[in-house]
Amino acid sequence: MDRVALRGLKARGHHGVFPREREEGQTFIVDLVLGLDTRPAAADDDLAKTVHYGIVAEEVVAVVQGEPVNLIETLAERIAQVCLKHDGVREVEVCVHKPDAPITVPFDDVTVTITRSRV
């Protein structure tokens, strides 16, 4: 399976279990790896035969900016389901970063990474 990756998609969302997270929001960063067969697109040099990563990026940002959830695990699942709706995408790895998580000790990042595929 071939892979198309999008790294560092940034969007502001209001996800989290604490009232401050819901009220003020924070930046979330999303990395995606889409698994698909790129041979048909490459053979015909045809965008319609692959995934349009610009559209995927817009849809993922809309999920992050959309309805708040408590957990980044839930956010990652919603993002994965949006990606799998695209024809040709057979598998997706989603990594959601929450660099401003409400943690009381110094840290660089919090991430949740999931892999989902068509059943």
> Does 119 score more than 90 pLDDT?
no
- Interval 13-72: pLDDT, tens: 999 999 999 999 999 999 999 999 999 999 999 999 999 999 999 999 999 999 999 999
DSSP character at residue 99: T
Among candidate residues 10, 49, 85, 98, the one labeled active-site is 98
Catalytic annotation present for 49: no
Burial 41-50 (b: 16+ CB within 10 A, else e): beeeeeeebb
Domain extent listing, the chain:
2-117
Cβ neighbours of residue 69 closer than 8 Å, sequence gap 6 or more: 15, 75, 78
pLDDT at 113: 98
Distant-in-sequence, close-in-space partners of 119: CB < 8 Å, separation ≥ 6: none
Domain 2-117, CATH 3.90.79.10 — does that match? no
Per-residue model confidence (pLDDT) at position 34 = 98
Taking only the tens place, the pLDDT of each residue in 86-117 is 999 999 999 999 999 999 999 999 999 999 99
- Mention every residue, 6+ apart, whose C-beta is less than 8 A from residue 43: none
